[in-house]
Amino acid sequence: MPTQMPDGAPVTPVLEVVDLTKSFGQVTVLRDACLTVGAGEIHGLVGHNGAGKSTLVRLVQGVERPTSGHINIGGERVDFKRPDDAHAVGVRMVFQELSLFPDLTVADNIFIHAEIARAGVIRGSRQHEEAAHLLGRIGAGHIDPRVLVGDLGIADQQMVEVAKAIRYESRLLILDEPTGSLSKSEIGDLYAVMRRAAAEGLGIVFITHHLNELFEICDSVTVLRDGRVALQTKTAETTLDAIVEAIVGDVPTQDVKRRTVSALNDVRLRVTGLSVPGKLDAVDVAVRSGEVVGIAGLAGSGRSTLLKSILGEIRAVSGTIEVSGRRVTGGAPGKTVSDGIAYIPENRKTQGLVLDHSVLANTTLSSLAAFARWIFFRARLAENATRGFINRLEIKALGPEQPVTELSGGNQQKVVLAKALATQPRVMLLDEPTRGVDIGAAAKITSAVLDEVERGMGALWVSSDLDELVRVSDRVLLLRDGSLHEWRPSSPDRFSQRALLADLQRPIAHENGVSA
């Protein structure tokens, strides 16, 4: 529909990707990908992490060069050697992490590096007028060009990015997960901006993890899986289930070993009415001894906030937290950790480890008191304990004294786990514990946590790897719009990644409130 002008004459597509293949050494990350985006078309691009989305985008942007195949922009074959080349023919990218200067005004940002100037002096009022005009064109006229970008909300910042993009002779706009950190109404505004930009004749590639958005805004969709195009169709001609099917592929449902968590097991963690403004709305959850409770939610749904506010790293405005019946509400991590909560943070480098310090120093960091007599550190005891963890978790290190910065990512993550296990926690909060970790290390980490769960620990496990979540969890809760909902697959055999991915995308109305 949008590839034809109103008078019905066909026009050349803005973007044509023809048999694009990209290999890194032995590994092919994109194979024979084909994709066409017409003028005025909004084209959704979805797939798991690692399916090839970013590679495809990087090729179109000129960040990387294809191994074979080629790209046409506006019907002409191009060979980008660097991002500037793509820029020159009108390919713009709106990054997930915005590339604006927060301390400059909206107008300064829009005209950065291409200022309207006479004899080197910027003509500020002309720029302000032009900027206001551009913003008006995309329906973002409410943004004052004189305001500092850093004072705008994320949504408005994205609109400035879009305005900046159409300011140039742009033809193709690539939006990388723009909705992740936006509220519902902001998403609506962004959609309006996208529609206006498309109406001006731009082609738009829209990358998202929120599959329902495909049906709200996209004309067509491409699903990538394992570097290949798994599905390419008009959104009007497909269904959510078909897209989920294409994303997940034909994986056999694995046998999942279910633990039996008795209702008699003691409650290790009870969270009641936990609220964090704008993030969590009266969340209740209980984790029993020997139980893994999985938390599924889309990016930006507040999963990390939930764990951090239980830990006390983020202050909740209301709600209570109990560990084995003892109230720990309002405690900072220094208190909650000693009360039996262990935490595996999302980012091991910034939150998990003191990188320059040794395996031993990191392993003992959360349980210093346990390795001390009065204030004196018992080096021998700590060394033995660290060696124990090195053996048990198969940490590949030269010894307890090696700095963790010299270890691989998987082994670093094992040290984070060792630190948590060393506190002998009553309950463990895990935030993406296996992300960015090689398969072997991920398996070791998972089994080590599950072993501890067998011995009675409770675990609250956040992961965007739904397959992992389904495998490890005794039950799964969906975090959506700040509250938790018990996930009840329609039949027992539907306790699968596929079912979870589909349910995660469906409107809330299908579920009941949580009864944890």
Partner 1 sequence: MNSLVTERPSESTAAAAQGWWRRTYRGALRGDNPLLLAAALLITIVVFAVLVGGTGYLRPENLLGIVRQTATISVMAIATVFVISAREIDLSIAGVIPISAYVVAMLMPSIGPLPAALVALAAASLVGLVNGLLVVSLGVPSFVVTLGMLGLLEGASRLFTNGQSVLVQDPAFIAVFGSGSFLGVPVLAVWSVGLAIVGAVVLKNTTVGKAVLATGGNPEAARVSGIRTARVRIGVLMLSSVAGGLAGLMYVGQFQSARFDLGSSDLLTVIAAAIIGGTLLSGGKGSVIGALIGSLLLGVVNNGLVILGLDAPQQLMFRGAIIIAAVIVSVRAARRRA
- Alpha-carbon Rg of the chain, whole angstroms? 26
Provide the minimum distance between the beta carbon of 460 and partner 1 in the complex, in angstroms, as a whole number: 15
Provide the minimum distance between the beta carbon of 369 and partner 1 in the complex, in angstroms, as a whole number: 6
| Three-state secondary structure call for residue 515 | coil
- Measured from the CB atom, the residue of 203 and 433 that comes closer to partner 1 is 433
Residues 198/41, Cβ–Cβ less than 8 Å: yes
Rounded Cα distance between 437 and 418, Å, is: 15
Provide the minimum distance between the beta carbon of 372 and partner 1 in the complex, in angstroms, as a whole number: 5
Applying CB under 8 A, the residues found at the interface with partner 1 are: 308, 311, 313, 332-334, 336-338, 343, 345, 350-357, 361, 364-366, 368-369, 371-372, 375-377, 379, 396-398, 402, 405-408, 419, 423
Cα–Cα distance list, 21 to 34, 64, 219, 229, 481 (Å): 10, 11, 25, 11, 39
Provide the minimum distance between the beta carbon of 424 and partner 1 in the complex, in angstroms, as a whole number: 13
- Measured from the CB atom, the residue of 45 and 307 that comes closer to partner 1 is 307
The DSSP symbol for 150 reads: G
- Measured from the CB atom, the residue of 137 and 444 that comes closer to partner 1 is 444
- Measured from the CB atom, the residue of 85 and 313 that comes closer to partner 1 is 313
Beta-bridge mates of residue 375: none
Cα–Cα distance list, 37 to 232, 263, 321, 414 (Å): 12, 55, 51, 44
Rounded Cα distance between 310 and 331, Å, is: 9
- Measured from the CB atom, the residue of 238 and 364 that comes closer to partner 1 is 364
Provide the minimum distance between the beta carbon of 50 and partner 1 in the complex, in angstroms, as a whole number: 22
Q: Strand pairing of 427-431 and 341-344? A: parallel
Say how many C-beta atoms besides its own lie within 10 A of residue 425's C-beta: 23
Rounded Cα distance between 250 and 299, Å, is: 25
| Three-state secondary structure call for residue 36 | strand
- Measured from the CB atom, the residue of 365 and 500 that comes closer to partner 1 is 365
Provide the minimum distance between the beta carbon of 502 and partner 1 in the complex, in angstroms, as a whole number: 34
Provide the minimum distance between the beta carbon of 405 and partner 1 in the complex, in angstroms, as a whole number: 7
Residues 85/93, Cβ–Cβ less than 8 Å: no
- Measured from the CB atom, the residue of 49 and 405 that comes closer to partner 1 is 405
